[in-house]
Every structure is written in C-alpha cells, then in structure tokens.
Amino acid sequence: MTGRVRMGRAILVLALYAAALTTVAWRQSTTRETIEEIGRLSRELAVEADEREALARDVLSLEQRRWVAAEAGRRLGLRPPREEEVVITSGGSR
C-alpha cells in the first residue's frame, strides 16, 4: 500500500505543479494582452489630444476679429463703418 500511496502523492504533486504552470502561463498571456491594450489606448489618447489641440487652435483663429469681419462681409455684406458714419451718443438714460 505504501507504494500506491507514494504513487498517488506523486501524481497529485505533478498535477498541482502542472496546474500551477498552466495558471502562470495564462496570467502571463493575459498580462501581455492587457499591456498591448493599454499601449493601443495610450496611442489613441495621444491622437485624440492632438486633434483637440488642433480644434482649439481653429476655434481661436475663428474667434479673431479679422476673421469675423471678413466672414460678415462675405456672408452678410457687412463692413466696418467709415469715420463719418460713426455717431457717438451720450450714455445717460432719460
């Protein structure tokens, strides 16, 4: 019986060892996939940040008086007033 008990223990130890190795291999592959996903997301985030900066620059350029005046002239036919067209009124209320 002692031979069978030893054999059973040896098989159990080998099975546990194989299970441990399988678990380690699975964890490493999962970790590798996670790291690759993090890298992909980091690259995506960098691209989005660049696009956001480009949009912010576009907004700043579109808010400039020169651009607004040019578009108002082109789209609406507006122009800045000439000096003789400017009338200054008093700011007092009646």
Determine, yes or no, domain membership for 45: yes
pLDDT of 94 > 60? The answer is no
pTM assigned to the model = 0.52
Report how many domains make up the chain.
Answer: 1
Domain that holds residue 68: 2-77
Determine, yes or no, domain membership for 83: no
Express each pLDDT in 19-70 by its tens digit: 999 999 999 999 999 999 999 999 999 999 999 999 999 999 989 989 899 9
Determine, yes or no, domain membership for 87: no
Residue 56 has which token pair? Answer: 């912010």
Determine, yes or no, domain membership for 11: yes
pLDDT of 92 > 80? The answer is no
Predicted confidence at residue 3, as pLDDT, reads 79
Determine, yes or no, domain membership for 88: no
Exposure string over 10-28, b if 16+ CB within 10 A, otherwise e: eeeeeeeeeeeeeeeeeee
Residues ≥6 apart with Cβ < 8 Å to 19: none
Determine, yes or no, domain membership for 23: yes
